[in-house]
Amino acid sequence: MQELLNSPVFTWVIVPCLICLARIADVSLGTLRIIFISRGMKLFAPFVGFFEILIWLVAITQVMNNLNNIAHFLSYAVGFSLGNYLGILLEEKLAMGKNIITIVIPGDASLLIHFLREKGFSVTVVDGKGAKGDVHVLFTVIRRSELNSVVSIIKRFHPKAFYTVEDIRFVSGGVFPAISNTSRFKFLSFLNTGK
């Protein structure tokens, strides 16, 4: 065993790979922690933060104990970069929280309104004045996981409609379509309660 620990393969390949994996894990956890903080999830953020910093301490200790090994520095940096990428992918897959979509439509919006309501989305409609005349302003609050499907519905009915999407931190009440349980991340669904 001592031979393995002192071998060049261990020093230049195995330890750098472990440092890289540790950085991927701790940076990904850091991304989740920031999401939990921004969503007001007070219990999850410190829990994730504990493991994030514990993993980081293990990785940085290996780098600091071997300051003459360039492979450790490079693996630390590569792990950080890959951890950011993985964190972004996790954030997109979890799609936690709610969005409000504001849609401005000149002319008749009744087909879109009817279709969205038929699909279970709550839609509030306000008449307004745009730069070129009368418009209908539609507001709908949706789960982030439904954003792509709602945007495709908007584009199908009104390809040139102006719309904005904003994150919402807190929602009280409202009508939301039922969630299908086909996600690969179903075991994390308890996190997607919104608030």
Residue after which a domain boundary falls, among 94, 111, 135: 94
Categorize the per-residue pLDDT at 5 as very low, low, confident or very high, splitting at 50, 70 and 90: confident
User: 146 and 66, same structural domain?
Assistant: no
Q: What was the pLDDT predicted at 82?
A: 98
For the residues 65-77, what does the mean pLDDT come to? 94
As a whole number, mean pLDDT of residues 6-21 equals 92
Model pLDDT for residues 39-55, shown as the tens digit of each residue: 888 899 999 999 999 99
Dihedrals phi, psi of 78, to nearest 5 degrees: -65, -45
Domain count, the chain: 2
Residues 132 and 177 in one domain: yes
51 lies in the same domain as 132: no
Which of these three, 47, 72, 94, is where a domain ends? 94
Least confident of 49-53, 101-105, 183-187: 183-187
- Tell me the residue range of the domain where 42 lies: 2-94
36 lies in the same domain as 80:
yes
Q: What is the pLDDT of residues 146-165, one digit of tens each?
A: 999 999 999 999 999 999 99
Tell me, yes or no, whether 107 and 77 share the same domain.
no
Whether residues 29 and 83 fall in one domain: yes
CATH number of the domain enclosing 167: 3.30.70.120
pLDDT at site 183: 52
Nearest to 136 by CA among 158, 118, 119: 158
Structural contact between residues 52 and 108, judged by C-beta atoms closer than 8 angstroms: no
pLDDT top residue among 191 and 102: 102
- The reply to whether 90 and 104 lie within a common domain is no
**Does one domain contain both 18 and 54?**
yes
Burial class of 150 by CB neighbour count within 10 A (0 to 12, 13 to 18, 19+): buried
Q: What angle do CA 27, 28, 29 make, to 5 degrees?
A: 90
Contact between 24 and 83 (Cβ < 8 Å): yes
Asked if residue 156 and residue 121 are part of one domain, the reply reads yes
**Which one of 49, 79, 94 terminates a domain?**
94
Mean pLDDT, residues 88-116: 92
